[in-house]
Amino acid sequence: MSYSAIINISQLLTLESNGSKKPKRGRDLRELGLIPNGAIIIKDDEIYAVGTTYSLKEKLKQVPEDKIVDAKGRVVMPGFVDAHTHAVFAGTRAKEFHQRIAGKAYMDILKEGGGILNSRKAFAEATDETILMESGARLKRMLGHGTTTVEIKSGYGLNTEQEIRALKLVQQLGQMVPIGIYPTFMGAHAIPPEFKENPEDYVQMVIEEMIPIVAQKKLARSVDVFSEQGVFTLAQTEDIFKAAMDYGLRLRLHSDEIVALGGTELACAMGAQSVDHLVAVTESGIKALAKSDTIAILLPGTVYSLRKTPAPGRKMVEAGVAIGLATDCNPGSCYTESMPMVISLACISMGLSAEESITAATWNSACSLGMQEEIGSLEMHKKADLILLDCKDYREIAYHFGINPVAATMKAGKWIQACE
Q: What is the CATH topology of the domain spanning 3-78+376-415?
A: Urease, subunit C; domain 1 (2.30.40)
pLDDT, average across residues 346-370: 98
- Sorted by sequence, the CB contacts under 8 Å of residue 294 that are 6+ apart come out as 267, 268, 271, 272, 273, 274, 275, 288, 322
Q: How far apart are CA 420 and CA 316, in angstroms?
A: 41
| pLDDT score of 418 | 57
Strand, helix or coil for residue 402: coil
* CATH level 3 topology of 81-368: TIM Barrel (3.20.20)
Q: Is the pLDDT of residue 420 over 60?
A: no
194: confidence class by pLDDT, cuts 50, 70, 90 = very high
Q: Could you report the per-residue pLDDT of 297-356, keeping only the tens digit for each?
A: 999 999 999 999 999 999 999 999 999 999 999 999 999 999 999 999 999 999 999 999
Percent of the chain with pLDDT over 90: 93
DSSP 332-373: SS-----HHHHHHHHHHHH---HHHHHHHHTHHHHHHTT-TT
pLDDT tops 90 at residue 417: no
The percent of residues above 70 in pLDDT, for the chain, comes to 99
What is the rounded CA–CA span in Å between residue 9 and residue 362? 19
263-304 pLDDT, tens digit per residue, is 999 999 999 999 999 999 999 999 999 999 999 999 999 999
Using one digit for the tens of pLDDT, what is the confidence trace for 154-192?
999 999 999 999 999 999 999 999 999 999 999 999 999
Q: Provide the residue ranges of all domains of the chain, joining segments of one domain with +.
A: 3-78+376-415, 81-368
pTM of full prediction above 0.95:
yes
Q: Residue 215 phi/psi, 5° resolution?
A: -70, -45
User: Does the structure show a pLDDT above 80 at 117?
Assistant: yes
Q: What is the DSSP string of 186-220?
A: EEETS--GGGTT-HHHHHHHIIIIIHHHHHHTT--
Residue pLDDT, tens place only, 27-68: 999 999 999 999 999 999 999 999 999 999 999 999 999 999
- Backbone φ and ψ of 321, nearest 5°: -80, 140
Q: Collect contacts of 244-250 with beta carbons under 8 A, ≥24 apart.
A: 244/211, 245/270, 247/211, 247/212, 247/214, 247/215, 248/215, 249/185, 249/211, 249/214, 249/215, 249/220, 249/221, 249/222, 249/223, 250/221, 250/222, 250/223, 250/370
Q: Is residue 232 pLDDT above 90, yes or no?
A: yes
Q: What are phi and psi of 371, to 5 degrees?
A: -115, 15
Cα distance between residue 378 and residue 235, in whole Å: 41
Smallest CA-to-CA distance from 328 within 106, 149, 94, 84 is with 84
Residue 142's SS3 state is helix
Provide the pLDDT for residue 105: 83
Cα dihedral sign, 40-42-46-49: negative
Residue type (1 letter), 205 = M
